[in-house]
Structure 1
Amino acid sequence: MKRYLLGVLALAFLAGCTQPKAGGEEGSGVKAHNPVIFADVPDIAMVRVGDAYYMASTTMHMNPGLPIMKSTDLVNWVLVSYAYDELVDNSQMNLEDGANAYGAGSWAPSIRYHDGLFYVTTFSSTSGKTHIYTTSDPENEPWKGHSFEPMLHDHSLFFDDDGKVYMLYNGGDIKIVELEPDLSGLKPGGLHEVIIPDAGKVAAEDLMLHAEGTQLFKYNDKYYVFNITWPRNGMRTVVIHRADEITGPYEGRVALQDRGIAQGCIIDTPEGDWYAYLFRDYGAVGRIPYIVPMEWEDGWPVLGKDGVVPDTLDIATANINAAGIVASDEFERAPGEREFPLAWQWNHNPEEEYWSLSQRPGFLRLTNGRVDGDVLQTLNTLTQRTFGPKSTAETALELDGMKDGDFAGILALQRHYGYVGVKMEKGEKFLIMVRSENDAPVEKEILPLTSERVYLKIACDFSEMTDQAVFFYSLDGEDWQELGDTLAMRYTLPHFMGYRFGLFSFATAETGGYVDFDYYRVGAGDAALE
């Protein structure tokens, strides 16, 4: 009988793994610490409803997409839903004709609660549209979506007190546009103008990234617009503009310059405390969120402690790190059940007829429905986040359904990828470790394989930006051997996402082959290698 206690994983996260330090003083007792989640959770938008917080983030080309997470303490988050199952059905999202949506899909959401409804919005260069989704219950009721043109880049949805609805958007010059009351599109003849020209100039004249990532808030009858910018030879910087009217005039100032921690939102607690929730670029693991203490002084939000984001937070809660957004899976389902834990996302749109949890109960079957030349162009790669400071993912494959030219295994997914797996060639199977070099797959080690079952594992080290992945195989699930080279992981802008673990199978010669994955087990630290 297959068994794996996810509670053990949660305890591993709670064990006090080393995190990137920020220079704050250590407190006494149990305290939350930064980064609050050592995993790729960028473009943070957040809303509080009563005692609960809801956070939206970016997962771009992954589906389902636009993840919604919930917390009751601002520190520990659990995935509760996705706004959409499929963003758009086109060649990019279907990985057809050599096209892809890496680094695209949907970006930078906004989330609001208004008159009993949750609204989460995003935009997409892949669809060319602005997308709006609504529900009255993010945990139990499906989101309903519609879209309109044009695509409003890095927008912030805002319901004003007079009943009008706006989006602030754009990069550089921050613009405002009025929406129809039902959010069906832009209001003809409504407000549409620049309200903050070249918003990044408040930080420096010479910018390598002009203002973007707009978030609009209202506090004590003033409007506050948060953006990030990047002075040349500097770092990502938070800038804030405020005005008495939504259209301005706005005055601005620099709000934070600390290790590039920037872009996100602000949120208050029921007790009246305020925090900024921002992300930091942290190498190959991606963009990781930080909680930043905030005070109001003279009508301005003041972020950090003496301009520094502290390591230890004055919040009496232990972090569970990524335990609420990753999950092990034994692929055991009740008859007729076809759901995955919310931690899973497909790389691009899946082909439903070529994956199954019921053809062989207790296993995930991936069938090769077309011929592809590379793992990055294959459909039905099932993924989860990697996480820091160290994380491992393990699976077991049964291989008797493979055909000549088939490849299958477990992947460290990014443009500069690496995987450990099995290939079949001239009726024989081989263990292989492959990594991408100059955007082409290179087999770094090949071993003959006579077993029809093999165990595979990847161990990632993101501590202090080590950014290395090591690949292992076993014939019995106990004795693990390293295979191939260590992968020097690199965050690349074409993919614009932290590394992910992925389960995959693809054909290079003929369709119809398949592999069965027995389980997926994720762990923290090096314990899984012992």
Structure 2
Amino acid sequence: MIKTTTTVTNPIIWADVPDPSVIRVGSTYYMSSTSMHSMPGCPIMKSEDLMHWELVNYAYDTFEDNDMHNLMDGKHIYGKGSWATSLRYNDGTFYLSFSSLDTNQYYVYQTTDIENGPWERYVIPGLHHDPSVLFDEDGRVYVFHGNGRIRIAELTADAKALKADGINQLLLEGETEGMGLRAEGCHAYKLNGYYYLFFIEWPRVGNGRRRQVCYRSRELLGPYEHRIVLDDHLDYQNNGVAQGGLVDTPTGEWYAVLFQDHGSVGRIPCVVPVSWEDDWPVFGIDGKVPHSFEVPLPQKEAKPLVASDSFEYAANKLALQWQWNHNPDHALWSVTERPGYLRLTTGYTARSVEFARNTLTQRTEGPACSGVTKMEFGGMKPGDRAGLVALQHYYGTVGILAGEEGAHYVAMCVKGDDGEEVAVEKIRYEGNHIYLRIVFNFEESSDIAHFFYSADGEAWIPIGYPLRMKYLLQHFMGYRIGLFNYATKTIGGHADFEYFEYEKRN
């Protein structure tokens, strides 16, 4: 018997899926998210019950090719890249747009097949901060954007460029009194004869947490009235659940998909019931974000967002759960050169894993998770470093350091005060393969990572010290686990990873 309802439990994904933008097309929901420096970027996920999401596509493999995006000459796009996306569907076409702080440009991607592409890209000069696209019923298209000072700009009917003689003006001013973060993260809708604009704001006064606000007007250009529609948190976290938009069911129920900052694991999405009173949206149950509730949608099978990989591929194309840290150099990695292994070959020198090109990453998940790999390092050259990384601005690694005359060392390293990689503990290691493991614990904001190695995959030896993980705005992203190999002296060495084994712990 098919279950006709689904229990939504918050968070719906206990991993870094920030700035969610959700639409419904027929009975299927699609969600896009911020991806910044991870490539491919702008992940597309789908669901039929709002609880169980599957990764199905990305909007692009890379969106710029320059030194910053390629981690060259000490340059990077950490904390920049693609920010909050706006996902929309109109007349058979899907539209995904975002702005990038490092290029100061606004990007619009379009496709008629969101799960398979291809996507066409259009670039509009000028930063349109946290954009939200609105297709009005009269055929005109607008983008709302800004921080505090919210602007409206009119796009051409095909949403490929700014309309030359279209509207382009300041629309409204967010609250200023006592505000730390003024209105941003716009999600715009036309419903019930009103224009609705949803924002996040963060007052310095009161409970000190972020909240969701709604502006509405019967006229596009206002005036707009507004009210706070949600000021609540989830569980023991005081961080407010906010920033996101609305979506309905085929039978007319309404929900908001928002997110909450959750320490070093990142920004985690939540679903909140929405009702209507006097054409105002009412978020939550008695103003609270429920831990769980029923939605009138048939439950579907869960698909993992983070997954193990045996690296058994017929072609040189990785599973969707993997993202590179910045743009990869495709000539320097392979899953077919040595079948059953991921080979990472060095082509550049770097001062630390933070600037190592071709680091292959996945998200981490709460409340706890772990990743294990078996690595063969006979092809490494003196000065090479390879292994597993817990990646954020303050990172930790466990792996092999290749020394002179065939010497190898297993080491746990962290970021030093000068930005260089520092070995906390370093031990001479014999052989040509090693098992590496990182265990992450995010429960109740403990935010600790432990590092281990093994010669046989059975007896695990802790190394270094537990890393106190910190969510820092330099990367603006939750911790990721990654496989890396980089050179500090001579390029051309390689490391082979036989598998990546992932386990989520509830």
Determine if the TM-score, normalized by the shorter chain, exceeds 0.5. Answer: yes
- Name which of 240, 243, 249 aligns with 2:214: 240
> Counterpart of 2:250 in structure 1: which amino acid?
P
Cα contact 1:76–1:324 (8 A) shared by 2:
no
Map 1:166-205 → 2, pairs under 5 A: 166-197=142-173, 199-201=174-176, 205=177
Equivalent position of 1:12 in the other structure: none
2:412 is equivalent to residue 433 of structure 1: yes
Q: How many residues align?
A: 491
1:306-348 deviations in Å (ceiling 9; x for gaps): 2110111223777988x532121111112xx111111100000
Map 1:155-170 → 2, pairs under 5 A: 155-170=131-146
CA positional deviation for 1:30: 7.4
- Name which of 310, 323, 335 aligns with 1:357: 335
State the alpha-carbon separation in 2 of the partners of residues 200 and 36 from structure 1: 31
SS at match of 2:8: coil
Structure 2: segments with no counterpart, 5+ residues: 234-239
Cα contact 1:33–1:319 (8 A) shared by 2:
no
State the alpha-carbon separation in 1 of the partners of residues 329 and 117 from structure 2: 25
1:39-84 deviations in Å (ceiling 9; x for gaps): 0001010110000000000010111000000000011100110001
Cα contact 1:110–1:157 (8 A) shared by 2:
yes
SS at match of 1:277: strand
State the alpha-carbon separation in 1 of the partners of residues 423 and 364 from structure 2: 23
2:63 is equivalent to residue 83 of structure 1: no
Map 1:314-463 → 2, pairs under 5 A: 314-315=294-295, 323-334=303-314, 337-426=315-404, 427-438=406-417, 439-463=419-443
Identity percentage over the alignment? 47
Equivalent position of 1:19 in the other structure: none
CA positional deviation for 1:524: 1.1
State the alpha-carbon separation in 1 of the partners of residues 427 and 253 from structure 2: 58
> Counterpart of 1:228 in structure 2: which amino acid?
I
- Name which of 77, 94, 115 aligns with 1:101: 77
Equivalent position of 1:217 in the other structure: 189
1:407-438 deviations in Å (ceiling 9; x for gaps): 00000000010010000111200100011243
Cα contact 1:200–1:228 (8 A) shared by 2:
no
Cα contact 2:400–2:411 (8 A) shared by 1:
yes
Cα contact 1:265–1:276 (8 A) shared by 2:
yes
| Structure 1 residue ranges (4+ consecutive) displaced by more than 4 angstroms after TM superposition | 316-321
**TM-score normalised per structure 2:** 0.95
SS at match of 2:175: helix
1:97-125 deviations in Å (ceiling 9; x for gaps): 11110010100000111110111111111
SS at match of 1:443: strand
Map 1:221-300 → 2, pairs under 5 A: 221-233=193-205, 234-259=208-233, 260-300=240-280
Equivalent position of 1:502 in the other structure: 482
Cα contact 2:351–2:421 (8 A) shared by 1:
no
| Residues 127, 223 of structure 1: alpha-carbon distance in 2 compared, 3 angstrom cutoff | same
State the alpha-carbon separation in 1 of the partners of residues 416 and 267 from structure 2: 24
SS at match of 1:46: strand
State the alpha-carbon separation in 2 of the partners of residues 73 and 501 from structure 1: 28
Equivalent position of 1:38 in the other structure: 14
State the alpha-carbon separation in 2 of the partners of residues 30 and 49 from structure 1: 19
State the alpha-carbon separation in 2 of the partners of residues 162 and 223 from structure 1: 14
RMSD: 1.5
State the alpha-carbon separation in 2 of the partners of residues 114 and 320 from structure 1: 28
Cα contact 1:63–1:345 (8 A) shared by 2:
yes
Cα contact 1:149–1:185 (8 A) shared by 2:
no
Equivalent position of 1:306 in the other structure: 286
State the alpha-carbon separation in 1 of the partners of residues 81 and 309 from structure 2: 26
SS at match of 1:324: coil
1:241-296 deviations in Å (ceiling 9; x for gaps): 00001111100011111131110111101111111110000000000011111101
SS at match of 1:420: strand
CA positional deviation for 1:140: 2.5
State the alpha-carbon separation in 1 of the partners of residues 115 and 288 from structure 2: 35
State the alpha-carbon separation in 1 of the partners of residues 56 and 119 from structure 2: 12
| Residues 57, 347 of structure 1: alpha-carbon distance in 2 compared, 3 angstrom cutoff | same
> Counterpart of 2:279 in structure 1: which amino acid?
G
CA positional deviation for 1:240: 0.4
Structure 1: segments with no counterpart, 5+ residues: 1-28
> Counterpart of 2:167 in structure 1: which amino acid?
L
State the alpha-carbon separation in 2 of the partners of residues 329 and 449 from structure 1: 26
Map 1:44-63 → 2, pairs under 5 A: 44-63=20-39
1:413-471 deviations in Å (ceiling 9; x for gaps): 00010010000111200100011243332211111111101000101000111100001
- Greater shift after overlay, 156-165 or 474-483? 474-483
- Name which of 114, 120, 127 aligns with 1:144: 120
CA positional deviation for 1:127: 2.2
State the alpha-carbon separation in 1 of the partners of residues 159 and 127 from structure 2: 14
1:179-205 deviations in Å (ceiling 9; x for gaps): 1122222111211112212x234xxx1
CA positional deviation for 1:221: 1.3
Cα contact 1:243–1:249 (8 A) shared by 2:
yes
